[in-house]
Structure 1
Amino acid sequence: MADTTVSKVSDTPRTSVGRDGVLNVAARLFREQGYGAVSLRKIAEAAGIKASSIYYHFGSKDEIVAAVLDAGIEAVHESMRQAIAVLPTDTGAEAALRAAIGAHLRALLEVSDYSSANVRIFGQVPQSVRDANLPTRRAYEAEWDALLSRLQKNGALQRDVDIRRLRLMLIGALNATLEWFDPDRGSAEALSRTYADVFLNGILER
């Protein structure tokens, strides 16, 4: 995990902030302000270094953006992978899906500036940067597809459910919480339970 401590440093090219420190600052700024509003100079100022020092680690703003996007997906992916891996082999479909949903939301809302930044700026970055991020994104989508397909094969999901569309709907709804979730009015854990209830049980009385 990247060191989240960013300190004031001298103006020498080899700064104590380091590559991870630059990325930590950039992820926070991208999460808060979006892609277009964040420049290399703004990242450097927030990190307490000169803009020229950033070029020791990165050749351009888009190199930083690409690294932030990859790290954001990887943070959510690892959170979900670990949540599923610790479940007993006989865990039912509902518990498995609740664990996956909870892991995604925790990584998105509580754990990592990188995961939040990824969701916020992915649609704003140049196409070349998005294309470079696709392998990492596809790997996470495949994790969900594998889980949902396994549950469908075991008879827990309806046979006529389209796995890809279900995954798109589920992840899209979870990611959208960044636009309105207020941690002062409830926890990510409580939100996770609400989302899982709706997805698994529906909203209409039977």
Structure 2
Amino acid sequence: MANTTARKLNEIPRSAVGRDGVLDVAARLFREQGYGSVSLRKIAEAAGIKAGSIYYHFGSKDEIIAAVLDTGIRAVHEGMSQAVSALPEGTGAEAILRAAIGAHLRALLDVSDYSSANVRIFGQVPQSVRDANLHARRAYEAEWDNLLSRLQADGALKRDVDIRRLRLMLIGALNATLEWFDPHRGSAEALSRTYADVFLNGILERQET
């Protein structure tokens, strides 16, 4: 049986789209339509290939989803890490946090279908797929925790701030922009400045005492 299956897979012609092309199409569809509405057949049609050709690159829909989720997290992680690392020595805490917030939002809203798809379908996919993505997800969370902890140790963040809760609130708020952000009514950069202003400076006017 295994030999028969292998022979059938070998008979499937290589697609000109290729593995990365299939993933690009799948990421866009998952971002736009969610997990349940996207089938292998729909991915194949959008990629302009036969449904069977997908099996040359992937064994199942869940295998495609796992690759999309991992790529999405890595895109955000790398963008945030590079933005912070590129800052000059001695950059202040506010500029560091503004760079990190801006990089996260750009990855979601301007750069990658993968990162947007990750946020939108993570809660919809089977538990086994979520579990497989946890390593990459935890690595990005650790990047934020390390950054915030370092700023707290340097005295830039209040000592009583709970780093984990702050990270959850911050990333949760940034990810939620996918549900309402309209690029025709503003840029990701402008939105990034607004978020940074609120998180770093608050919303209430200081009252004279």
Q: TM-score, normalised by structure 2?
A: 0.93
**1:116 maps to what in 2?**
116
Sequence identity, in percent?
Answer: 87
Letter in 2 for 1:60: S
Is 1:50 aligned with 2:60? no
**Secondary structure at 1:38 match in 2:** coil
Kindly report structure 1 stretches of 4+ aligned residues shifted beyond 6 Å: none
CA RMSD of aligned residues (A): 0.9
Distance 1:186 1:157 in 2: 30
Aligned partner of 1:4 in structure 2 is: none
Partner of 2:149: 149
Alpha-carbon distance in structure 1 between the residues aligned to 2:158 and 2:42 = 50
Q: Which residue is 1:64 aligned to?
A: 64
| 1:27-47 deviation line (CA, Å, top 9, x unaligned) | 000000000000000000000
Alpha-carbon deviation of 1:89?
1.6
Report the structure, 1 or 2, having the larger helix content.
2
Q: Which amino acid aligns with 1:177?
A: T
What is the letter of the counterpart of residue 184 of structure 1? H
Determine if contact 2:66/2:132 at 8 Å carries over to the other structure.
Answer: yes
Q: Spell out, residue by residue over 1:120-169, the C-alpha distance to the aligned partner (whole angstroms, 9 max, x if none).
A: 00000000000000000000000000100000000000001000000000
Structure 1 gaps of 5+ residues are: 1-10
Mapped partners of 2:183, 2:39: distance in 1? 28
Task: Name the CA distance, whole Å, in 1 between partners of 2:132 and 2:160.
Answer: 33
Q: CA–CA distance in 1 between the matches of 2:63 and 2:31?
A: 16
Structure-2 separation of matches of 1:144 and 1:195 = 16
The DSSP-based 3-state class of the residue aligned with 2:94 is: helix
Question: Larger Cα Rg: Structure 1 or Structure 2?
Answer: 2
Q: Which runs of 5+ in 2 are unaligned?
A: 1-10
Whole-Å separation in 2 of the counterparts to 1:201 and 1:102? 16
Number of residue-to-residue matches in the alignment: 196
